[in-house]
A and B are shown apart, each in its own frame.
Chain A
């Protein structure tokens, strides 16, 4: 039974023809290859946290799709001009917007289908790896809105400029503003060097902090204005398309009601975009490192997400993490256990470790030991002085500094964070406090005893580090590490208070 014999409405039949004969499917293999190499491999480098993985949808997929969507839509839009059927279709009673709308819908169907297929692959991959949470929908909506507006822009350019250069020029014409928007969004989100927040309208930005959406809900305020902005542009351009024959002076653009409808569409689209633009300007940082827009904000999204921590590591030193990070619980426990054993029983030594949110009440929460019994608090985003614990090579920090994190460095970051807090003293949730030479030597010795190699004492000691001091610290650390564990423990029990007070010198270390 063919489609011709099925009684479909006229619009559906026309749409079916457009879908069947569209050029997009020919480009899908190329798009799939770019999707694999860019989006999928980038996402795979992120830890399996839903919001982090979903960030590749606007940040990577939108770029890839825009490279093709604009050009292919321009190709579809220029069909009547290229094929010289303008005269013929001008004699048709069907309104131009209906005819062009079917062609636009045909291209859009394929592009959105491909886009959603990519999202499905990404989300299935994440679902197989994530340990908590579910797929966020707002990044998908923002990405789909981005693909839609790029398609409409390309199609409109193709209708009005059916030349051979329209497709490639549209392709780069949409990519450059997207990249500029990305840059401005970085200025707002990361460097805070922009005085305004309009750049939040850009759907492309840096990946969010690793615990976004984990401890607190992600407010939909910013995605809402992004979608509103983009859809507004698309609607306005569709209204312009309806006036295309009149603007081309081939024939009048239909009756007065049609012209009124077209102008209304343009006005509504412009109003929606302008409203979104104005709302974006009112955005302000929220208490957990994100953004909120007062007119759209709901207080319910400020509440913490109720969750039961995962403490199933089975190690002697109990470690509890948010279930979203259960995938690294055993690794953290394995990292902290030997170090905790070195200091077990000493004053202020933690009985366990727990993961907390890195932002609370608008303030950063740093690692530290607090409570009774003492517990070592750490955040997924930073432990001790090490920031971006989960960022791979895509991290801005690592790219700019040239550091490539590895497993040993990651492990030592946790151990160092615990020892920093222990040696500085309990209840010191105050961020980076540099160690003195003796404290550094003791820390390095304990790291050696736990099986790690101390990485970079200079960064720990801050401005107190000098070459001769570094060498002396290393020597003292090796000396202290060479002692039997019981001797080390006994010495620490006797001198811990003085060590914390900064009253111990390198020479006084055994």
Chain B
């Protein structure tokens, strides 16, 4: 094996700075393994579709239920994209490492959630989004929680299935004007029960996902 010229490493920085830089580097690499940059593009595409839907009036006029139909589909799609970023291509190899993995998972999930809300709201900026950003945020938060919970069972790559099922179910609940708080997409923005429910599902999903991580058996390398 021949010796290859090694690039001269940069000068070592002070302790704290080095740790911070290493942390940033680790976080960035972690996000890349989860295809977060592509995921952000996918979320931006969801925002674009939302903008198109509002600009060209794809939604029905009139009742809340009708106006919420298409935005709910897009919000569920954004939540499904977040859920799919849960997948790890390394499987057990990654789990047999140090203590940082749960924090990285937590950061990635919360960060993607925030970005999804921001990108979709950006898409709706200047247009009349049904009930505004509060309902959008609540839907994304809650359905993301469902997706994260699903990833514990199906693995990251199939974690979109339960959010889609929940969305399809909520389309029916919209028209039946259900009042159960666990059908939070149907409820108005000021509805406390719906907020509690959505946040509780998100918290449960986030907690379990952070601690346990997605199932690796059914997933494939990607």
Contact = CB atoms under 8 A, between A and B. Distances in A.
Q: Determine whether A and B are in direct contact in the complex, meaning some CB atoms lie less than 8 angstroms apart.
A: yes
Contacts of B35: 163-165
Contact of B60 (A34, A168, A183): A183
A366 interface: no
A428 interface: no
B154 to A, nearest CB: 8
A175 interface: yes
Interface stretch (A23-31, A296-304, A307-315): A23-31
A179 interface: yes
Nearest to B172: A38
Contacts, number: 116
Given A84-B221, A165-B35, A179 B164 contact: no
Contact of B220 (A27, A82, A394): A82
Interface stretch (B9-17, B74-82, B129-137): B74-82
Contact of B63 (A82, A169, A179, A399): A399
A447 to B, nearest CB: 30
Interface string A51-85: 00000000010011001100100010000001110
Q: What is the predominant secondary structure among interface residues of chain A facing chain B?
A: helix
A162 B38 CA distance: 13
Nearest to B41: A165
Interface in B149-192: 154, 156-158, 160-165, 167-169, 171-172, 175-177
A503 interface: no
A463 interface: no
Q: What is the predominant secondary structure among interface residues of chain B facing chain A?
A: helix
A68 B65 contact: no
Interface residues on A, range: 35 or more
Given A169-B81, A171-B77, A183-B58, A71 B39 contact: no
A171 B74 contact: no
Contacts of B197: none
Interface in A347-383: none
A33 interface: yes
A312 to B, nearest CB: 35
Contacts of B87: 164
Interface string A392-406: 011000011000000
Contact of A172 (B73, B83, B161, B176): B73
B73 A394 contact: no
A176 interface: yes
A80 to B, nearest CB: 11
Nearest to B65: A399
B168 A83 contact: no
Contacts of B177: 393
B175 A68 contact: no
Contacts of A393: 176-177
B168 A63 contact: yes
B70 interface: yes
B70 A179 contact: yes
Interface stretch (B42-50, B93-101, B118-126): B42-50
Contacts of B77: 168-169, 171-172
A67 B221 contact: no
Contacts of A26: 154, 158
Interface in A158-190: 162-165, 167-169, 171-172, 175-176, 179-180, 183, 186
In the complex, the 8 A-B pairs of residues with the closest C-beta atoms, listed nearest first: A172-B77, A168-B80, A168-B160, A38-B172, A30-B165, A67-B168, A67-B164, A82-B220
Interface of A: 23, 26-27, 30-31, 33-34, 37-38, 41-42, 60, 63-64, 67-68, 71, 75, 82-84, 162-165, 167-169, 171-172, 175-176, 179-180, 183, 186, 393-394, 399-400
Interface of B: 35, 38-39, 42, 45-46, 49, 53, 58-60, 62-63, 65, 69-70, 73-74, 76-77, 80-81, 83-85, 87, 154, 156-158, 160-165, 167-169, 171-172, 175-177, 220-222
23 contacts: A23-B158, A27-B161, A37-B172, A42-B172, A71-B160, A71-B161, A75-B157, A82-B157, A83-B221, A164-B156, A165-B39, A167-B158, A168-B84, A168-B160, A171-B160, A172-B73, A172-B76, A172-B77, A176-B53, A179-B58, A179-B70, A393-B177, A400-B63
